[in-house]
A and B are shown apart, each in its own frame.
Chain A
């Protein structure tokens, strides 16, 4: 659909199917309908959300303006200005346009809608200010679901702890159904599976079907074999439109068997890709480069392209807390080679979604100036702000890589609902711990302590992994002591 850039009375504007809106207390938030990107949500005044809810694919702009006059008591020119505001908001960042022109009955694709009445019912009132980025939302936008820590491969670079829980403490499939039903009622509709390999959980296809019925989108990373039958079943339960399946594959030869601990893994992965592509799935891949396999990347990339992979990411080995092996790091020359090769092949094949982002991230010899510059632009942590992680026994943690035990566990869905955990003092105390806990560290005397925790957050994962203490600065902080090479 054509992105909306101007206001014309007789045009019909709609919300792109790639975006969703949701009332959030006194505002409207608009977010990419995709688990990976949802943390880049934006907020706008509640009235903007009311206007967006009127874009139902039937009303022209003129009719929407008239409804706004009636709903909000605006004069006609002000109602039009509100729609103009939405267009300028939508086009303010290239690539993030969410409003489109729509021609009814023209065979165009779908669009997102939100009931005006439901929007107003959930809204608490007005806010004169935006929600600051990094603030905690009323409910999570995304969940990371870890049905199991089991996996049928054993990758040397795996970052998961892969311990337990005991089978009798794992959440049952019916409990997962309850969790997904509650998530649907809270409008948490974009998820990422993690673990463990989700396909190693018995009966998981039923859960996938449940999520599809709720209209949820999810990312399913796996190294399990997906047979023709299973790919066909995934198709039949409607996964094609809403699910991105990611197959991890690190090379083309038997060399990678040693890396992933599985016989003839490459051919197994290629068969899975073929079976999924035949069913029309959006398949993407992820490849981890180490000195063992990086020379295979050019051949691998061509193979993946021939198989019909939509998007392929090539990256370099990153430090794993649980089973780190220094010999798996690529050196600078190897990293440059990988990036150059992939860039060249992407250009030759005109494959825009082939990406290499191999890079060194090293906190062992800190460059304070560089760290200071990067610190200001750091990503904010969505843990406890717009996302949380459900572990196999129902315990909640705020990052999928941290150990699944005290003090990282902030609640449990065995005894609590999603809402109860999200609104609990435990989750807030984890995200913003009292300064006293940081005694003897740089954080204890840091003037930015409150801002650091309240806005962008401190990477508690890297802090713990580097200094073996949760209550320390993260190693990318300019004030932090030297850490490790991370990738």
Chain B
């Protein structure tokens, strides 16, 4: 469910706060870079602050996802204009006549991690070929 307008206002004001907090952390990071002379300590400070910043970035994204959820049915006015401009209207029948259904398994990489060592043998997925359409 999307947020109500009142909830959205609260969330949006929190977004502004988070931006301020990120700004502060970034300043803190700059200071640490200047003050700290020991390279190991400098890296440590950088890592800690970087993680805090990224944590805030995640909080921001979480709010943006919540606020951005659109429960209403999509308005298709602009979609109609676009469909017209892309010549979808005139050729849709011809396209359907030409449609073929073909799939074949592939080595997606990473699958060897999951125990797949026989990729030449397990993907004999049939070609579906032409299917009568219209």
Contact = CB atoms under 8 A, between A and B. Distances in A.
Q: Say if A and B assemble together.
A: yes
Contacts of A78: 92-93, 134
Nearest to A95: B125
Contacts of A126: 86-88, 91, 95
Interface stretch (A228-236, A298-306, A312-320): A312-320
B103 interface: yes
B118 A85 contact: no
Contact of B104 (A92, A133, A389): A133
What class of interface size applies to chain A in its complex with B? 35 or more
Interface in A28-44: 35-42, 44
Contact of B112 (A116, A318, A359, A383): A318
B123 A82 contact: no
Interface stretch (B7-15, B30-38, B53-61): B53-61
B96 A92 contact: no
Contacts of A134: 104, 106
Nearest to B81: A120
A125 B87 contact: yes
A210 interface: yes
B88 A50 contact: yes
A350 B24 CA distance: 58
A170 interface: no
Contacts of B86: 46, 120, 123-126
Nearest to A288: B115
A96 interface: yes
A478 to B, nearest CB: 12
A173 B51 CA distance: 8
A144 B83 contact: no
B83 A313 contact: no
B90 interface: yes
B1 interface: no
Contacts of A377: 120, 123-124
A314 B93 contact: no
A45 interface: yes
Contacts of B51: 173, 203, 206
Interface stretch (A65-73, A101-109, A423-431): A65-73
Contact of A85 (B74, B99, B102, B115): B99
Contacts of A74: 89, 92-93
A161 to B, nearest CB: 14
A213 B58 contact: yes
B101 interface: yes
Given A39-B107, A120-B79, A361-B118, A203 B54 contact: yes
B66 to A, nearest CB: 10
Interface residues of B, number: 64
Contacts of A159: 112
Contacts of A38: 108
Contacts of B61: 210, 213-214
B117 A316 contact: yes
A42 B86 CA distance: 22
Given A206-B58, A221-B113, A56 B118 contact: no
Interface string A344-380: 0000000000010101010000000000001001111
A117 B76 contact: yes
B109 A116 contact: no
A89 B83 contact: no
Contacts of A36: 108, 110-111, 114
B123 to A, nearest CB: 4
A313 B118 contact: no
Given A93-B128, A133-B104, A72 B115 contact: no
A174 B114 CA distance: 29
Contact of A130 (B55, B93, B100, B107): B100
B107 A379 contact: yes
Contact of B125 (A40, A120, A219): A40
B133 interface: yes
A340 to B, nearest CB: 17
B25 to A, nearest CB: 12
A406 to B, nearest CB: 20
Contacts of B88: 46-47, 50, 71-72, 120, 125-126
Contact of A246 (B106, B114, B134): B114
Given A82-B92, A487-B117, A174 B50 contact: yes
Nearest to B62: A213
Give the top 6 A-B pairs by smallest Cβ distance, nearest first: A313-B115, A73-B89, A39-B106, A192-B110, A45-B95, A39-B108
26 contacts: A39-B108, A42-B101, A42-B102, A45-B92, A46-B95, A73-B92, A89-B99, A93-B101, A115-B74, A117-B76, A117-B79, A120-B79, A120-B86, A130-B102, A172-B50, A174-B54, A194-B110, A206-B55, A286-B113, A286-B114, A357-B115, A357-B117, A382-B106, A385-B106, A386-B108, A387-B109
Given A47-B96, A203-B51, A359-B118, 4 more contacts: A47-B95, A177-B54, A213-B58, A361-B121
Interface of B: 47, 50-51, 53-55, 57-58, 61-62, 65, 73-74, 76, 78-80, 82-84, 86-96, 98-126, 128, 131, 133-134
